Amino acid sequence: MKNKQFAVIGLGQFGEAIAKSLSKKGAEVLAIDSNQDKVDYISSDVAYAVALDATDKKALIMQNIQDFDAVVIAIGEEFEQLLLCAVNLIELKTKRIIARAKGDANKLILQKLGIKEIFQPEFEVGALVAERLIHPSIISYLELPDGFSIAELKPPKSILGRTLEDIRLRDKYRINLITIKRDFEELKGEEVMTESHLTGVPQSTTIIEEQDNMLVFGRDVDIEKFIEINN
């Protein structure tokens, strides 16, 4: 992330979270919003924070917006403003544009403009909540095209203490284990802390333990089948 430059336009809940996360990862972040209070609030967490109207092309040019590695349009409430901002960025030949869409109609319009990277946080959160309600063992969930997904889940009790070779995830359930997130106790000063770490690429001899979280990839129906059969 070092030396990467990103601009985030729109400092609502999602825009603020994106800007702060990028900054924590070492990126140089320009945070933009028309609301001075929001700009002031985030100013200590990012490299630059500016109050301006993102529908004003001259204002964007003054920030050299076209030179950034990517620009995230996280404007949530006013879709017309988002569109005008997107058109400005396209006309300025911005290298990479990532835009927020609220609903399929908004997504379709953005796609017609030529924006290929579109995120729908409400839809993504809704899908995760629904999945966790149906399958409480699922911790996080990333929906992919064509009926595939990546899921982080607590291992069913029936496979604890068994090796991957014995469980036969790929042959029996048609899902792949990407990696394991395991809890480790670490001494920090005088206090024992529990932290999670990835264990790397699993081997056939890897044993599934109670403190593990499994990151698996496969078709939704196959992941659901694995959970239902072993719970």
List pLDDT tens digits, range 169-223. 999 999 999 999 988 777 776 776 777 888 889 999 999 998 899 999 999 899 9
Domain boundary among 92, 119, 146: 119
Mark whether 80 and 180 lie in a shared domain: no
Domain that holds residue 56: 5-119
Domain boundary among 82, 103, 119: 119
Mark whether 112 and 149 lie in a shared domain: no
Mark whether 108 and 70 lie in a shared domain: yes
The CA–CA distances, whole Å, from 142 to 24, 94, 148, 176, 228 equal 22, 28, 9, 15, 19
What percent of the chain shows pLDDT beyond 70? 96
Domain count for the chain: 2
Residues 6+ apart with CB under 8 A from 105: none
Q: 214 and 177 in contact (C-beta within 8 Å)?
A: yes
Residue 147: is it exposed, middle or buried by C-beta count within 10 angstroms (0-12/13-18/19+)? exposed
| Residue with the two structure tokens 């403003």 | 81
Residues 6+ apart with CB under 8 A from 132: 138, 139, 141
List pLDDT tens digits, range 64-85. 999 999 999 999 778 999 999 9
Give CA 173 to chain center in angstroms. 27
Mark whether 50 and 97 lie in a shared domain: yes
Mark whether 62 and 147 lie in a shared domain: no
The CATH number that applies at residue 25 is 3.40.50.720
The CATH number that applies at residue 216 is 3.30.70.1450
Domain boundary among 87, 119, 151: 119
